Homo-oligomer: A and B are copies of this chain.
């Protein structure tokens, strides 16, 4: 699977666009994986899929400041460029796009892309402005890379839904592909933010997966009330002293609207603070 090659490292948007256009002119398909670096097995599953689907793969490594709120973890967000690069090389990535803030946001930058509705719930409530930052940087990156397909992790399910909505609404000619959550052996969803967790926090963090399992089990057992399933998930989290629930919800996987009666596929979604680290997780579930 892994086809070692040295990716070209590009900092200039213009050069990435040039490369992408050269490839396209030569009839090559282009896959794109936008990341904030600190690459883990979740990211690499996206990269592997892109390398396998497309003739050329671009990975962007850019910690986007506009998707962090005041007091969030922008400055301490983990950065590991050399390791990330080695992983990209191992996976057969063609270009790593690693721009500076100065290039991505000019001093008088004043344009933002905003998706209404499904950004106003869940993580959008806890992190005002977050999704505006996400959609703006993703729009920029898609314009720069001009990919045929872009790969996103289902772990950030609301982000995936928001990006898909933006791409549809703005007619951006790219296929958005969501990939399954990758988990540690004990069930914790892979996240760059797991690095923040102390040993006891790491153990407390398992309550997210346990809560999802509890919710899924209820639905498997015939429960159809979204509210009851959400409450059962919340209960699992609340029982853990070092965990603080942000939200536990049963929602429509496309619109992120609350589901009252579980009569179709739904998403169980959680956000939980473990100490000063905010973790999210989710799964899909179908009524019997």
Give me the interface of A with B, judged by CB distance under 8 Å: 13, 17, 25, 106, 108-118, 135-136, 139-140, 143-144, 146, 165-166, 168-173, 255
Q: Are A17 and B116 in contact (CB under 8 A)?
A: no
Q: Smallest CB-CB separation from A20: which chain B residue?
A: B173
A111-B113, A140-B170 known; 17 other A-B pairs, CB under 8 Å?
A17-B171, A25-B25, A106-B169, A108-B255, A110-B115, A110-B165, A110-B169, A111-B114, A111-B166, A111-B169, A111-B170, A114-B114, A139-B170, A140-B171, A143-B171, A143-B172, A144-B171
User: How many identical subunits does the complex contain?
Assistant: 2
Q: Are B165 and A111 in contact (CB under 8 A)?
A: yes
- Tell me how far the C-beta of A109 lies from the nearest C-beta in chain B, rounded to whole angstroms: 5
Q: Are B114 and A118 in contact (CB under 8 A)?
A: no
Q: Report if A173-B17 is in contact (Cβ < 8 Å); known contacts: A25-B25, A106-B168, A168-B106.
A: yes
Q: Are B135 and A111 in contact (CB under 8 A)?
A: yes
- Tell me how far the C-beta of A121 lies from the nearest C-beta in chain B, rounded to whole angstroms: 13
Of residues A13, A111, A169, which shows the largest number of chain B Cβ atoms within 10 Å of its Cβ? A111
- Tell me how far the C-beta of A190 lies from the nearest C-beta in chain B, rounded to whole angstroms: 29
Distance in angstroms between the alpha carbons of A168 and B140 in the assembled complex? 10
- Tell me how far the C-beta of A46 lies from the nearest C-beta in chain B, rounded to whole angstroms: 22
Of residues A17, A113, A165, which shows the largest number of chain B Cβ atoms within 10 Å of its Cβ? A113
Distance in angstroms between the alpha carbons of A113 and B171 in the assembled complex? 13
Distance in angstroms between the alpha carbons of A108 and B110 in the assembled complex? 26
Task: Return chain B residues, CB-CB under 8 Å to A144.
Answer: 171, 173
Task: Return chain B residues, CB-CB under 8 Å to A136.
Answer: 170
Q: Are B110 and A117 in contact (CB under 8 A)?
A: yes
- Tell me how far the C-beta of A50 lies from the nearest C-beta in chain B, rounded to whole angstroms: 21
Task: Return chain B residues, CB-CB under 8 Å to A109.
Answer: 169
- Tell me how far the C-beta of A18 lies from the nearest C-beta in chain B, rounded to whole angstroms: 10
Q: Report if A112-B116 is in contact (Cβ < 8 Å); known contacts: A139-B170, A170-B140.
A: yes
Q: Smallest CB-CB separation from A144: which chain B residue?
A: B171
